[in-house]
Structure 1
Amino acid sequence: MADLAIVIDDSFNDPHAELWFSEPAGFTALPLAELLPSPDSGAADDLRAAATPLLDAFPEGGARRHFIAQFATAQRLLAALRETGTVHCSVGLHRDDVGDVAVVGGRGPLFSLFTISWRDTGVAPRGVTAARAVTSADGHARIEFAELPCGPVTFGETASVPAPGSGLPRRPLLQLHAYLPHPDCRRLAVLTLTTTAPERRDEYRAILRLIAESVSFENPLGNAGDGA
């Protein structure tokens, strides 16, 4: 069995971090701050400098305009996520190797989106808060309560189709949620894994549980003042 490679992101040492976690292979974090800079900031200049070589690689015309439009749409979607309390966002890309993989041409890649958001809650025991998170919202299915190393957590699923004008393809979406109350009993970390492959529900649910099991509300290495 090959050794498992663990990569520690620079954000691990963020002094303002309030939650630590690990992601399995296949996920790439999106730098929200760098992709959504203030218009007149140095970060905006850095983004323009990074994007210029890519834009220059496109010939003038429809392809270039399409790329710019797609990039602007992605920024709007990320901004909407951040406005709702999202502090982390990753894109997952995995090979569909479940079932009959001997199909001519192979199977296409599976895309997913993983986010972590904070939600304020009323003061209550953590188990109560975790239970309320899934019972107070409509449409949750396959609800499960568990005790993980970080404390109580509830899991649930919802299914939907993106609204017209959202910029997303109108394909069925499966959203898997994990609700983890913070030890201060005043807020909730919401882990959400979204996929357009509902037929891979069990595999994605296993991925979300794996991530939730890695969550810690204290620096796992015990370095005071460090975080991610």
Structure 2
Amino acid sequence: MTQEATGVPMRLVIDDTARDPSSKIWYALPDSFVDVPIDALAPQPGSEQEVHLEQALALVIDVAPEDQRDRYTGALRDVRFMAKQMRNEGIIACSLGMHHADDGSSASSVFTVGLRDIGWAPAKVTAVRAAASRESSGNVGLLTLPGGRPASISDTLITMPALEGVPGQELYQCNLYVPDPSGTQLGVLTLSTTAVGSRKHYRELMEGIAYTVSFHDPLPEIERAARGDAADGIANDIASDFG
């Protein structure tokens, strides 16, 4: 149903995390995603944040059913380990998603964002190299983002080995590579899911996200447009970027 058919103006909901002054990259996600607090789950050893986390986890274990406490302890330990691994690999954000697949079933996904320091090169060359250098990548495509900025997208199927109590399975992974305007950093946005039958849906989802990626704070322009203070060109750009 279109905006014209309903007569209700479409609204963009801005999460509070978008106002973090330490942010280095901005992007928009559908409301089906929930943030995972990597920093809170992988604090610096000996820090006050680590003490608070240990206290919170102790409370969780304390209220767990007695016959399930070992299971809870193991699950929480695994979550902390994964958060630490993500931080070590340069991932700065992680979100969990739940979506409706093309066949009407529910499908979940994991979305991560990383920033890499790179040697300077023309942005289009960087985008092509990044997609082509990934092992087993396929369906490589080039995108032209708002402002004429280049980006690339690729996807692949990965066979995950069987683990204790978990059978092996295929994983669909889609990657976006967006060079920043300075040419010295590369944004890597990755979506992974076991719903391999819905890969067309996820590829289209990632292409839509790509057009919202920015390395400068877009909120001032968005808010001016929302107040009607911006020129039509800015408002149209925002509509194009964010839908």
Q: With structure 1 as the length reference, what TM-score do the two structures score?
A: 0.84
2:73 pairs with 1:68: yes
- Which segment drifts farther, 76-85 or 126-135? 76-85
2:224 pairs with 1:218: no
Cα offset, 1:128, TM superposition? 0.6
Cα offset, 1:52, TM superposition? 4.0
Residue of 124, 140, 144 corresponding to 2:141? 144
Encode CA deviations 1:181-225: one digit per residue, 9 max, x unaligned: 0111112100100010111011111111111111111111238xx
Counterpart of 1:88 in structure 2: which amino acid? A
Asked if structure 2 preserves the Cα contact closer than 8 Å seen for 1:90 and 1:113, the reply is yes
Residue of 32, 35, 38 corresponding to 2:38? 32
2:156 aligns to what? 158
1:9 aligns to what? 15
Matches of 1:34 and 1:195, distance apart in 2: 24
Identity of aligned residues (%): 32
Q: Please show how residues 106-121 of structure 1 align to structure 2 within 5 Å.
A: 107=105, 109-121=106-118
Cα offset, 1:90, TM superposition? 0.3
Looking at both structures, which has the greater relative contact order when contacts are Cα pairs under 8 Å and sequence separation is at least 6? 1
1:176 aligns to what? 174
Residues 80 and 135 (structure 1), Cα distance of their counterparts in 2 relative to 1, 3 Å cut: same
Cα offset, 1:162, TM superposition? 2.9
- Which segment drifts farther, 43-52 or 184-193? 43-52
- The number of equivalent residue pairs is 214
Structure with more helix by fraction: 2
Asked if structure 2 preserves the Cα contact closer than 8 Å seen for 1:162 and 1:168, the reply is no
Please tell me the root mean square deviation across aligned C-alpha atoms, in Å. Answer: 2.3
Counterpart of 2:135 in structure 1: which amino acid? D
Cα offset, 1:67, TM superposition? 1.3
Cα offset, 1:129, TM superposition? 0.4
SS at match of 1:135: helix
Task: Give ranges in structure 2 of 5+ residues lacking alignment.
Answer: 1-5, 222-243
Task: Give ranges in structure 1 of 5+ residues lacking alignment.
Answer: 102-106, 224-228
Matches of 1:141 and 1:167, distance apart in 2: 31
Matches of 2:211 and 2:25, distance apart in 1: 12
Residue of 167, 183, 186 corresponding to 2:184? 186
Residues 167 and 221 (structure 1), Cα distance of their counterparts in 2 relative to 1, 3 Å cut: farther
2:129 aligns to what? 132
Cα offset, 1:3, TM superposition? 5.4
Cα offset, 1:40, TM superposition? 2.6
Asked if structure 1 preserves the Cα contact closer than 8 Å seen for 2:140 and 2:153, the reply is yes
Counterpart of 1:117 in structure 2: which amino acid? G
Asked if structure 2 preserves the Cα contact closer than 8 Å seen for 1:154 and 1:179, the reply is yes
2:93 pairs with 1:88: yes
